[in-house]
Structure 1
Amino acid sequence: MTQTGDADLFKRRFEREKAARTQAEVILEKKALELYDANEQLKHLNENLEQQIRDKLAELRESEQRYRQLIESVQDIIYKIGPDGVFTFVSSVVEKLLGYTEQEFVGKHFTDFVAPGYRKQLVEFYQTMLLERLDSTYTEFPVVAKDGHIVWIGQTVRSINNNDEISELVAVARDVSDRKQAEIELQTTQTRLSTLITSLQSGVLVKDEQRRVILVNQLFCDIFEVKESPQQLIGLDYSQSAEQFKYLMVDPDGFVRQIEQLVQNRQATAGEEIRMVNGRILERDYVPIYFGEEFMGHLWKYSDVTEKYLARERIRRSEEKYRGIMNNMELGLLEVDNEQTIIRSYERFCKMIGYTENELIGKKADKFLVAPEFTTVISQQQRERQQGNAGSYELQLVKQDGSRIWVLVSGVPILDEEGTIVGSMGIHYDLTERKQLEEELAKAKQIADDARQAEKQFLANMSHEIRTPLNAIIGMSHLLFDTQPSRQQREYIDILKTSADFLHSLISDLLDMTKIEAGRIEVYARPFDLGGLLRAVQKVFEMKIQGRPIDIDVMLDARITDNFIGDDVMLNQILMNLVGNAEKFTEEGSIQITARIRKQDESTYWIEFTVADTGIGIPEEKLEVVFQKFKQVNPQGHKHKGTGLGLAITKELVEIQGGTISVKSREGEGSQFTFMLPFRKGDALAEPGLPAIGDVSMGDELKVCHILVVEDNLMNQKYISSLLTKWNMPYTLALDGKQAVEEAKKQRFDIILMDIQMPIMNGYEATVAIRSTHNPNQHIPIIALTASAMLDHKNIALEAGMNDFLTKPFEPAQLRDLLQRFAPAELQADAENIIDRERLTLLYGTDTAYAAEMFSTFLTDIVPEINELPTLCLEQNRTQLSRKVHKLKPTFGMVGLSILEEKMVQLEKIIKQGSENAILQIYCNDIVVKTNEMIPVLKEEAQKLS
């Protein structure tokens, strides 16, 4: 093909393609145009549709908003639940009423919120609604709010159907708690009222305004013999009940007439008395029932007051009877009002006072009759009556003739029917003769008291005046034995000593009986060695009867091995009296002391003691008088005389301890005295008691100590100084209390023997002066030498600051024992045993410098405070004393004085127990003395530590 032909062909093809493209473009443009038009139409349609949708949505939102506002504006809860009981919707009001949010409800089952006990009932309610396809129902039930309180809900429930099936339930619920509570309270009140009326001890009938029965109780039916039960009467017309019951009344027509009148007048009345033919008496109350101004019915109450009426009649007759009796008795009645104005005076009172009743009525009793000095008594009693109190009192009344009488008045308030105090009544008994007798008895009692005081003073003086020279006589007789007398002289001395001992025994018996009769003997229980005590008694009498053909034996129960707790001093005195009595009436033979346990329980042992002799015995007819005071079996026919008090004292001492004593005897064969005492078993070591005769061995080592002897009697000075010289005891003599105080300031003594009754300054005053002032002897032991055995004098001695007392006459052994007990211990040589080394090691270890500092502080600062303890005791400042003791107690342990620390513990205990001040004084003095005795030891120890 040529090139030109190719070009033509290309051109033709181009033209054809161009023509075809043009046609296509046209078609395309046409289609595009159609498509554009369709697109515009679609766009327009879309815009219209969108607008419609927006309008519909706006309309829906507006409708939903109105619906929600409607739901939220309602104060009730609106909720939906499915057939399965699960909440699908709940309005927001639920949070206000129950406290739960909407989210806390939705998805939960309704039983989760219903109060227990009502869930089953509500489930059955919903099941019935679903099964019976009910459109709408109403029910009430309690639910538990979020805070736990109960809310009663009343709800109306409607069912929503879908294809003939209930798809959900919609409910409107509201809070009906207030109404429900009111209904419950109303029902409770009705129940209570009904129960109350039914249970009343009166017949009750309640009728409405048409006189139909609303309420009636069984007692009404019983009173009026109604055969029907109270339930059968409810609703019946009872307008003719009066006619029905009138035959039961004494006045039937009056009964009917009065009922009709009450019904017509509708005025409340109470206490109408109605008599029945059967003898019963009724009391009728009528109350018309109103609600506001509206009449609602009638209430009738009938009470059987027969017993009350009969009782009132009995009281009336009794009052008349006793009024007559009172008028005829020695009792005068007077009635006054609240202003003390006399409103009635009974006959006997008028005779008592000398006025007529007319002369007394209207007068002021407190001014017209009462003696002026007793007006305050009347005022006080008047106040008591105004408070409703009765009372008895004594005063003097002035009679018409001006003379006075004493009366005992029993006053009571007078009340009116409403219980208001309107006056008082006084019952007057004439005491004039009794008062005169009382005055005479008071004078006689004063005379007796004066005589008793004189007797007491006489005994005290006798004790001192006789015992003081007796002390010298007995003492000198002891000293004469040491002068190697001849046989004849020894015989004279024996007679002298025997006579002095007999006189001493007489005085002691008299004083012991005086103390017993005054009730001033006390039992002091403490641990003691019973076997040792019996053997000591045996030893004393073996020494006494030495050379006479009499054996003294002691027989002990094998079970008596340990210590017992009781009053060993009193037991010793009983045994000494009985054995002494046996020794006195036995010329030859034996005296046997027996002790055995008769019975025991967990804490108490009853021990029987027997003292039997082979002496002259007691006639059978005399056995009843052996324990009587001042009675002797054979006062004329036996050579041994006495006061006749020994056995009487013994019996009293046994009975004081809760024991019994008896005697068996045959004349010419001997006597047997048996007594039984209770003791407690004790494991502790016996505390040192008062020394028994013969307890002290004269051969015991006696510590040498410097003694101040304060004694004004020349014979006693000689006696004591001779004993001290014999025992190699240095002493200083002071003739009275003033000299004793002066000597105490000059030099230090180890013991002071202080007589009590002295000129210028007595022993009490001297002791107080020594204890109260700074001197070398402020805290050393002071022993009272007293010729008085009276308990008062011994207590005063202890309260004055004395440590112990020795009663005159005393034997050398007794004085020696006291010196041994109160002589200062030899502390320096025994320091290693006194100081608690283990305690010091535990406190200080190897720190000797610190230990030395503590010892120095104790000596310089603590010891002066310890020395203040007796002063606090004297001042009886127990609070300060307790604080001081508590403060000082641990300081003793800081210097190794553990024993004294324990004494402080004991002192603190007895302060809390409220012990007598005399006991505290002894403890305080003892601690001070022991502390000052330890000062040299502590100084030496401090020096070593330094």
Structure 2
Amino acid sequence: MQEIEILKRRVERERKARMEAEAILEDKALQLYQVNEQLRQLNENLEQQVKEGGAKLQKSEKRYQQLIESVQDIIYKISPSGYFTFVNPVVEQRLGYSADEIIGRHFTELVVPEYREQLVNFYWEMVNSQKESTYNDFPVYKKNGEIAWIGQTVRLIESEGNVMELVAVARDITEQVATEDALRTTQTRLSTLITNLQKGVLVEDENRRIILVNQLFCDLFAIPLKAELLIGIDCSQSAEQSKHLFSNPEEFVQRINELLARQEIMINEELHMADGRILERDYVPIFLEGQYRGHLWKYADVTEQYLARESIRKSEEKYRGIMNNMELGLIEVDLEDRICKAYDRFCEMMGYAEEELIGQIASDLFLPEEFRNVFNEQQSIRIEGRATSYEIQMVKKDGSRIWVIVSGAPIMDEYGEIVGSMGIHYDISARKLLEQELALAKEVAEEARQAEKQFLANMSHEIRTPLNAIIGMTHLLFDTRPNKQQYEYLDILKSSADFLHSLISDLLDMAKIEAGRIEVQSHPFDLVGLLRTTQRVFQIKLENRPIELDLMIDGRIAGNYMGDDVMLNQILLNIIGNAEKFTEEGTIEITAKLKKEDNDTVWIEFKIADTGIGIPKEKLELIFQKFKQVNPQGHKHKGTGLGLAITKQLVELQGGTLTVKSEENEGTTFTFTLPFQKSDAEIVKNDYEIEEGSSNLEKCNLLVVEDNIMNQRYISGLLNKWNIPFTIAIDGRKAVEQAHKQQFDIILMDIQMPNMDGYEATLTIRNTTNLNQKTPIVALTASAMLDQKNKTKAVGMDDFITKPFTPTQLLSVIKRFLKAESLKTEPVQDEAPPAKVESLLNYPRIKDLYGDDTEYIVDMMETFLTDALPDFAEFQGLINAQDWVALSKLAHRLKPTLGMVGLTDLEEKMGQLETRARNNPQPESLQLIWSSITDKLENGTKEIQQEIEKLKS
């Protein structure tokens, strides 16, 4: 029950509460109605007011819109939170965005990121501090991604103390910012440059206050302050304060005042300091739009440069003085041969003042026309960067000529480019005159030498010819079994003839040695056999005299050696003959000793010691001099005084030495040492054995061509003695006739004969169809001169015998040629004469160049054939075109290649071609020289090819 009562009371309470809530809702509804009525009335009133003011507002907004659109700057509004609420159309022109693309976006979206925080703080401070207007600039992104700089003025729009919005007028200042940045960069660079410049710099304004100064300026003038502390200081008294630092203080102050007054640029002014330093000063006034705004001082310590320049100047003066004293004339020319500078000595040499020469073409002014080619060739070499030296004539101002040696060298600039040349001229006119006089003297001397040579040849012929007959007849008379008295007379006759023969031989030998015409012939010989033969000859000669001749030979000397045995034999005969002449009794010792060995070369020492009268010490130096005798008045033995002089030169000609030791009344010892090479070659016969006639010679037939009746008798007597058939022709013409009539095995041909001499006869026999075109021809000549020997070979003779000759010499020659040629008993058919081709290769020259290196020789020869030889084809074309300069250059280039492969004769002819083309070009003469070269070049090429094959095998 109690529970029911509780439930009833609860229901009652809920009913009352609901009734109260309904009453309240009715009351609220009434109030809301009343408020709505009031709002309706207010809206009606507001609508009326809006209608009345709308026209005015639209008119104002239109004027405002026109104003905004006419402005060329960007105008925008942003809310206090930073969002765009308005932007004028100019933004599209400046940034590329339309208004719709901007409005509603936050302003930071357009700002370059690194500037966003800075700009937000700027606006935040402006709003918080209630600043009405401020200016700021910053970079923004344009729509195309480019960056533009904006400079803007911002104003706050407030209402009742609250910021409603921000209005900004912004301008594109991109170009201005770029210009200012460039200006700041330039200023920074300039300031950095001046500060770090290795010269002292001071910049003052128009009132002489310091704007800029670097530390080096402070150091130069010992200013104890840092450079930055000097900015703004007045410098009007600085000259007075620092003048004590200069060697001429007052002049320093005066000069500064003068420069400041004149306000003109001055550079490289030299200042001498009291402490010995040298400064170089520049003064540069600064003007802006015509107004003086200050100046710049620049100081540099150039002490080292100054001292170096002074050293160079003094050196130039010294060497200029030296060159003037050395009589050297210098000029400098450009690439067009235009004179740039002429030194004093050159002007004096040529008779001009320097101002007369500057700008002139040197070759046109000084060079004679005949030297134009020489100059052009040298100039082309100099343009290639090489120095030249040559001799030419030059024309002086007065028209006279001088000879000069010109040494030219190219002048190069700092980049290594040739810009001209310098010529050093040395006057050699006096030397040239002396050369002409010497040439004339040489010509006279040459004529005298030729006269002497002709005299010796004539003497040789005129004296030797009868002497030959005398000696020959003496030999024949000995065979007639003379009685004792006749034998004595014949012996005296033979001794006198032999003595006369010795005198003539010595004179001719000395003449040949002095003319350099003695040839060292190297061939294998038996050295021991030669020594024993020499001993036997003198033993026979000394048979009835109280003199013993001993020979001692080193046991190590054996076998054959390569050398000139004939020359060695003459040396031994001269020295032993000299010992025999001055030794009355006692001994003569001949000693041969092996001195040393060097590979295949052996040095053998020969000593000839006698117990004769000896030589006084003060006379020892005379014995090797020509025509000198130790005691010409007091000794019974006479002579020319040439024997030992000839002997010494023959020893030295073979690379040996000859010495003498002697004691008066005790004897003399001659010692000479000669080099020989060991040889394995076999020697067919001993030339030192006296040969007799042989019966097999009876089958041969000889032609003797001799005009002298005594010589005819002498030769015919010998041939009859040996039972050799012969025919005599009295001159060259008769010899040619006999050559057509019958076949001969040997022709003995005299040289000097009437009607036709031996040379002409030999040429005729060799070059005409006859029975003896190939027959050996041996010259019989009274001349022993080398050029005569060469001439006999040139015309086709096979050998020669010098008159007077011994029977053994004649028989040896006859037997030698008969061994080489089979005996002819029947005439032979006509044949063309054999071509005598002498080798064009100079083997000694090749050996000098390459030694025994065969691979090197082959390489050089093959290189010549492949690389150099084809260029010879250009010569004929150059001769046809008469291009003498190119011809001379080609000859100069190819000339050495001929010498390198041993074609020395052609090398010499090529030199003639070069010289003639350069100095005196004549087409006919040059063609003749070239033809002579081509004639031999083909044969020379074949010889080279054969030599290559031989060396390779």
TM-score range, shorter chain: 0.5 to 0.7
Question: Structure 1 555/208 Cα, relative in aligned 2: closer, same or farther at 3 Å?
Answer: farther
Task: Specify the alignment match of 1:598 in structure 2.
Answer: 595
Deviation per residue, 1:289-315 (Å, 9 max, x gap): xxxxxxxxxxxxxx9998777544422
Please give the residue correspondences for 1:894-909 in structure 2 after superposition, counting only pairs within 5 Å: none
Aligned partner letter, 1:790: M
Task: Specify the alignment match of 1:354 in structure 2.
Answer: 351
SS of the residue corresponding to residue 674 of structure 1 reads strand
Task: Specify the alignment match of 2:581 in structure 1.
Answer: 584
SS of the residue corresponding to residue 393 of structure 1 reads strand
The reply to whether residue 621 of structure 1 matches residue 618 of structure 2 is yes
Aligned partner letter, 2:589: Q
Alpha-carbon distance in structure 2 between the residues aligned to 1:282 and 1:326: 34
Do 2:691 and 2:811's aligned partners in 1 also have CA atoms closer than 8 Å? Answer: no
Alpha-carbon distance in structure 2 between the residues aligned to 1:549 and 1:916: 57
Please give the residue correspondences for 1:31-180 in structure 2 after superposition, counting only pairs within 5 Å: none
The reply to whether residue 703 of structure 1 matches residue 697 of structure 2 is yes
Alpha-carbon distance in structure 2 between the residues aligned to 1:461 and 1:354: 57
Task: Specify the alignment match of 2:567 in structure 1.
Answer: 570
Do 2:392 and 2:404's aligned partners in 1 also have CA atoms closer than 8 Å? Answer: yes
Task: Specify the alignment match of 1:651 in structure 2.
Answer: 648
SS of the residue corresponding to residue 654 of structure 1 reads helix
Please give the residue correspondences for 1:790-829 in structure 2 after superposition, counting only pairs within 5 Å: 790-824=785-819
SS of the residue corresponding to residue 643 of structure 1 reads coil
Do 1:282 and 1:305's aligned partners in 2 also have CA atoms closer than 8 Å? Answer: yes
SS of the residue corresponding to residue 390 of structure 2 reads strand
Aligned partner letter, 1:453: Q
User: Which of 659, 673, 682 in structure 2 is aligned with 1:662?
Assistant: 659
Question: Structure 1 745/420 Cα, relative in aligned 2: closer, same or farther at 3 Å?
Answer: same
Do 1:246 and 1:253's aligned partners in 2 also have CA atoms closer than 8 Å? Answer: no
Deviation per residue, 1:146-165 (Å, 9 max, x gap): xxxxxxxxxxxxxxxxxxxx
How far has the Cα of 1:754 moved from its partner? 1.3
Aligned partner letter, 2:525: F
User: Which of 683, 687, 707 in structure 2 is aligned with 1:686?
Assistant: 683
Task: Specify the alignment match of 1:472 in structure 2.
Answer: 469
Task: Specify the alignment match of 1:728 in structure 2.
Answer: 723
SS of the residue corresponding to residue 696 of structure 1 reads coil
Alpha-carbon distance in structure 1 between the residues aligned to 2:558 and 2:810: 31
Question: Structure 1 378/826 Cα, relative in aligned 2: closer, same or farther at 3 Å?
Answer: closer
Question: Structure 1 316/679 Cα, relative in aligned 2: closer, same or farther at 3 Å?
Answer: same
Alpha-carbon distance in structure 1 between the residues aligned to 2:569 and 2:487: 30
Question: Structure 1 708/518 Cα, relative in aligned 2: closer, same or farther at 3 Å?
Answer: same
Aligned partner letter, 1:609: F
Aligned pairs, how many?
Answer: 592
Alpha-carbon distance in structure 2 between the residues aligned to 1:256 and 1:468: 114
Task: Specify the alignment match of 2:762 in structure 1.
Answer: 767
How far has the Cα of 1:742 moved from its partner? 1.8
Alpha-carbon distance in structure 1 between the residues aligned to 2:678 and 2:422: 64
Alpha-carbon distance in structure 1 between the residues aligned to 2:701 and 2:391: 67
The reply to whether residue 777 of structure 1 matches residue 757 of structure 2 is no
Percent identity over the alignment is 62
Question: Structure 1 818/208 Cα, relative in aligned 2: closer, same or farther at 3 Å?
Answer: farther
User: Which of 303, 308, 315 in structure 1 is aligned with 2:312?
Assistant: 315
Alpha-carbon distance in structure 1 between the residues aligned to 2:268 and 2:353: 41
Alpha-carbon distance in structure 2 between the residues aligned to 1:875 and 1:599: 36
The reply to whether residue 495 of structure 1 matches residue 489 of structure 2 is no
SS of the residue corresponding to residue 502 of structure 2 reads helix
How far has the Cα of 1:589 moved from its partner? 3.0
Do 2:412 and 2:418's aligned partners in 1 also have CA atoms closer than 8 Å? Answer: yes
How far has the Cα of 1:280 moved from its partner? 11
Question: Structure 1 466/282 Cα, relative in aligned 2: closer, same or farther at 3 Å?
Answer: farther
The reply to whether residue 713 of structure 1 matches residue 677 of structure 2 is no
How far has the Cα of 1:550 moved from its partner? 2.8
Alpha-carbon distance in structure 1 between the residues aligned to 2:424 and 2:453: 46
User: Which of 442, 452, 462 in structure 2 is aligned with 1:455?
Assistant: 452
Deviation per residue, 1:628-665 (Å, 9 max, x gap): 21111111111111111111111111112222222222
Alpha-carbon distance in structure 1 between the residues aligned to 2:594 and 2:526: 15
Alpha-carbon distance in structure 2 between the residues aligned to 1:611 and 1:790: 30
Task: Specify the alignment match of 1:20 in structure 2.
Answer: none
How far has the Cα of 1:456 moved from its partner? 1.6
Question: Structure 1 323/462 Cα, relative in aligned 2: closer, same or farther at 3 Å?
Answer: same
Alpha-carbon distance in structure 2 between the residues aligned to 1:517 and 1:790: 12
Alpha-carbon distance in structure 2 between the residues aligned to 1:868 and 1:876: 23
How far has the Cα of 1:724 moved from its partner? 0.9
User: Which of 548, 554, 559 in structure 2 is aligned with 1:557?
Assistant: 554
How far has the Cα of 1:391 moved from its partner? 3.0
The reply to whether residue 544 of structure 1 matches residue 541 of structure 2 is yes
How far has the Cα of 1:515 moved from its partner? 1.6
Aligned partner letter, 2:494: K
User: Which of 754, 758, 762 in structure 1 is aligned with 2:749?
Assistant: 754
Task: Specify the alignment match of 1:871 in structure 2.
Answer: 835
SS of the residue corresponding to residue 557 of structure 2 reads coil
SS of the residue corresponding to residue 775 of structure 2 reads coil
How far has the Cα of 1:367 moved from its partner? 3.6
Aligned partner letter, 1:822: F
How far has the Cα of 1:524 moved from its partner? 2.1
Deviation per residue, 1:116-173 (Å, 9 max, x gap): xxxxxxxxxxxxxxxxxxxxxxxxxxxxxxxxxxxxxxxxxxxxxxxxxxxxxxxxxx
SS of the residue corresponding to residue 550 of structure 2 reads strand
The reply to whether residue 433 of structure 1 matches residue 397 of structure 2 is no
Select between 769-778 and 472-481 the one with higher mean Cα deviation: 769-778
Task: Specify the alignment match of 2:669 in structure 1.
Answer: 672
The reply to whether residue 738 of structure 1 matches residue 736 of structure 2 is no
Do 1:696 and 1:817's aligned partners in 2 also have CA atoms closer than 8 Å? Answer: no
Please give the residue correspondences for 1:400-439 in structure 2 after superposition, counting only pairs within 5 Å: 400-415=397-412, 421-439=418-436
Please give the residue correspondences for 1:177-576 in structure 2 after superposition, counting only pairs within 5 Å: 243=214, 247-249=218-220, 311-323=308-320, 325-326=322-323, 330-415=327-412, 421-576=418-573
SS of the residue corresponding to residue 681 of structure 1 reads strand
Deviation per residue, 1:241-299 (Å, 9 max, x gap): 98566655569999989xx9xxxxxxxxxx9999999999999xxxxxxxxxxxxxxxx
Alpha-carbon distance in structure 2 between the residues aligned to 1:379 and 1:877: 36
Aligned partner letter, 2:718: L
Question: Structure 1 491/396 Cα, relative in aligned 2: closer, same or farther at 3 Å?
Answer: same
Alpha-carbon distance in structure 2 between the residues aligned to 1:635 and 1:549: 25
Do 1:526 and 1:687's aligned partners in 2 also have CA atoms closer than 8 Å? Answer: no
Alpha-carbon distance in structure 2 between the residues aligned to 1:209 and 1:344: 45
Q: Which runs of 5+ in 2 are unaligned?
A: 1-183, 200-210, 232-266, 281-299, 843-900, 907-953
How far has the Cα of 1:322 moved from its partner? 3.4
SS of the residue corresponding to residue 513 of structure 1 reads helix
Alpha-carbon distance in structure 2 between the residues aligned to 1:609 and 1:326: 58
Question: Structure 1 474/329 Cα, relative in aligned 2: closer, same or farther at 3 Å?
Answer: closer
Aligned partner letter, 2:609: A
Alpha-carbon distance in structure 2 between the residues aligned to 1:387 and 1:558: 66
Question: Structure 1 527/242 Cα, relative in aligned 2: closer, same or farther at 3 Å?
Answer: farther
> Which structure has the bigger radius of gyration?
2
Do 2:773 and 2:833's aligned partners in 1 also have CA atoms closer than 8 Å? Answer: no
Deviation per residue, 1:835-884 (Å, 9 max, x gap): xxxxxxxxxxxxxxxxxxxxxxxxxxxx999x768325389899xxxxxx
Do 1:737 and 1:765's aligned partners in 2 also have CA atoms closer than 8 Å? Answer: yes
Select between 587-596 and 498-507 the one with higher mean Cα deviation: 587-596
Question: Structure 1 688/437 Cα, relative in aligned 2: closer, same or farther at 3 Å?
Answer: farther
Deviation per residue, 1:593-630 (Å, 9 max, x gap): 22122222432222221222232222232222112211
